[in-house]
Amino acid sequence: MGVRLHLLRHGQTPSSRDNVFCGSGIDPELTPDGVKMAAAFASAYAATEWKAIYSSPLRRAAATAQTIADRAGVAYSTRDGLAEIDYGQWDGMTATAVDRDFHDDYVRWTADPAWNAPTGGETAIALARRVLGVVEEVTKDVHDGNVLLVSHKASIRSLLCTLLGIDVGRFRYRLACPVSSVSIVEFGPYGPLALTVADRSHLDTRLLALPGT
């Protein structure tokens, strides 16, 4: 086995529950259910030997990583490159409100977020480059075994597109990434291989049924 990256999205937050834009510009805590999601992952993967654990510095991701690191007995470290996309002026808004207040930017972004940024925000190309920079660092330091990256919805989806040869401009439409889902990519002799995408089998029925994104 080569390096096996586990790309975990943090647990539920008020923003994910209410389906509003939540990028790097706002920093909500996990909800009580979000805390339970982190604990459920930590329990399900208790037997996994983590060679390293890295997290976005944002509180929702860092709290998730802390729970897993405590259970595993492995320290985690943060990387700015794993932070969520910068949604600029859209942070905290619903898609309906953004479409109303920033209509032209919203139309351009939904058509091709690779090269069109949210108003005052970040393109998906820029996002993918910085997240990939963390992966390149990780794979230089670790040559075999399991590595956990705790990050965010857009960050994980843009990275998966980059690794799997999918147009980054399609990241919102090709790959699911609900809260507390994990995608696993193994680096082998033929390049990155997706073993699992958006798995949430570690969550119980109630947590799986919660509303939100």
Cα 181 from Cα 190, distance rounded (Å): 25
Domain assignments of the chain as residue spans, ordered by start: 3-208
Per residue in 156-201, pLDDT (tens digit) is 999 999 999 999 999 999 999 999 999 999 999 999 999 999 999 9
Classified by CATH at the fold level, domain 3-208 comes out as Rossmann fold (3.40.50)
The angle formed by the CA atoms of residues 161, 204 and 61, to the nearest 5 degrees, is 45
Helix, strand, coil percent content, the chain, rounded in steps of 5: 45, 20, 35
Give me the pLDDT at residue 213, please: 86
Instruction: Of 161, 182, 163, 183, give the one whose Cα is nearest residue 172.
Output: 161
- Contact predicate 8/37, CB 8 Å: no
- pLDDT at residue 1 greater than cutoff 80: no
CB atoms within 10 A of CB 66: 18
Give me the pLDDT at residue 67, please: 98
